[in-house]
Structure 1
Amino acid sequence: MRRIVVVGASAAGLSAAETLRREGYDASLTLIGEEIELPYDRPPLSKQILAGEWAAERLALRTLDQLTALRLDLRLGVRAVGLDPAARIVRLGDGTEVPYDGLIVATGVRPRRLAGDGGHVLRRVTDALALRERLAPGVRLAVVGAGFLGAECAAVARGLGCEVVLLEPAPVPLAHAVGERVGRVLSAAHTEHGVDLRTGVAVTAITGDGVQLAGGERVTADEVLVAIGSRPNTEWLESSGLPVDDGLICDEYSRAAPDVYAAGDVARWHNPRYGVAMRIEHRTNAAEQGLAAARNLLHPGAGKPFAPVPYFWSDQYDLKIHAYGYLRGHDTVEITEGDLGERRFLATYRRAGRLVGVLAAGLPPKALRPWRQALLTQEES
């Protein structure tokens, strides 16, 4: 294998490239990224960058010197538009073709949008900076979607003195992931901080003065942020013959086809620890899967299944939330420590009696360590 191409220059792609060099691969290594910026970290976009606490330069994952040391054929500001697995060629938007012996797909996701003109999304550093310029005391911001991204942005906007209306179609925000009781507790933090939280409402379009709801009602706002989820960037693979269904379908080794692997938000792979296919949009998973995919590409005969315990965190107001495991699909939730009413608690999640996840709010991360170890030591499904 003398030519490896990594498509996607964010956390997963960078992790894969660094792992390839660290594992001794010394031949041609091409890293392709659609954005013009050097690889940067995304979680701070909805926190420190939106709040104006960090300069954009602080997001950089590596310096230019560090990237140079990897001896990359670095191609930024160009997107992949097609793949021919038979010829082993990646086609780029600038008309060039990049041949490969091994390929790692790490093209991530893009935000879902609503009908109508205007509105902000938050995925790139340019998105965060553009929204930050519009947020000032007294500005009325409508946030569509009360998931973790929407909730974090609502909290930051309130901290900047904005009026915030948070619109969510579900009766209880985040209930599908963390359960109704925990979802209600996390939502209460917003109402206590003056957010106008409206649940059970569907937004159909962005208007010139806000948003329109399914029943015809309009909610006025100076600015609108759409945080209703994302779509995997797999369109460039549609004619490739590779399996695509809400992500690039991979086996337990993160392999989609011979010598083709995927990592990060775009990968839907079989996690043998939980016995299900999953696609995880968390920063730590991106880096870990980039590493695993690179190793398995280099050493397919000695490949190891990628079976992580997923981890995510969220900051909302003064509340810090940490979680391990795969909480979706749980059937029981137990508060094993602290008190929900005080928003200082630890909840465990089980499916068919088996521990599948744990979430802590208002507690130090060390409170989760024994539970993380319990999740790691359980037998795989």
Structure 2
Amino acid sequence: MRVEWNVRPTGLRHDLADAADAVNGDARRALVLASGLASVPFAGEGHTAQLFDTLSTLAAADLTAARVAEAHLDALAILHQAGHPAGADQTWGVFAAEGPGTALTATRTGDRWRLDGIKPWCSLAGLLSHALVTAHVARPAADGGRRLFAVDLRQPGVTVHDDAWVARGLSQVSSGPVDFSAVVADAVGDEGWYLRRPGFAWGGIGVAAVWWGGAVGMARTMYASARGRAPDQIALAHLGAVDLVVSGAGHSLAAAATAIDAGEADGTAGSLLAARVRGIVARTVDEVIFHVGHALGPAPLALDARHAQRVADLQLYVRQHHAERDDAALGQMLVTRGSAPW
């Protein structure tokens, strides 16, 4: 990764950082920024490091900007893989979460499909023009498999429940449920393709690049404080600890980008790589929040609006990593391999 947390971004990265800083938590401004990132490369096509660098640079300045951009770019990458081009004036999200007590079903109607039911965790559904949505294919007397669909969210039958989103972090990236009632959709890939494609694991690493960028933003606040006054040994120890974890996580992202472009992150190798990188970065975020909080005390949380917002945003966003449950899933992957990986 080319972003270094202890220096100011230069050139193109400086422009990206300024654009993200201007978003300042506003989801509509974030969508405008995201829609202008058409030249950002797709993962796996030789410039994955540039993609991760873009996401982390945005996140270091403003997590809302990066959160919205990551979802839009991930959707464009999926559509690109499927040979299903997106329109220039469209803004996209990916709604693939499942939840207890909710179900979204897809029923074929001629050459197209009809979606009915409830989909949880639909970020920015009330502002986006389109989304890629997973649904269970309806079959007589059998459980339907999952398939991906492209949906125009502006059509009748789409009901967004923004009132369910009460989060203080990423407060404008409303991610409540959406009701679908006889909503027309187009299939993207065949049944199961969304989860089988190599880019599924790569997209998860892109999310980790955003988490890492958020940690970089917090680390920069800590570094500025240390430079602004003579730090004592405790402050220096916290700064050193932050450098270790941030640098290590940055190297893991850079190595992942190299592996993806080298064709070494497909199938089970890609799943294992994504689990490791996401776990490393999630732990880094938790440690950075701990060390920055202990080093700086309550003042920036109470008096620095941007820092307080970054902490709240990052604490919420990183919980997409399921902590010990994802660690257990990684452990299962390792046992299944049949030989020690180290």
TM-score, L = length of structure 2: 0.27
More helix, by proportion = 2
More strand, by proportion = 1
TM-score, L = length of structure 1: 0.25
**Greater CA radius of gyration, 1 or 2?**
1
Higher RCO (Cα < 8 Å, 6 or more apart): 2
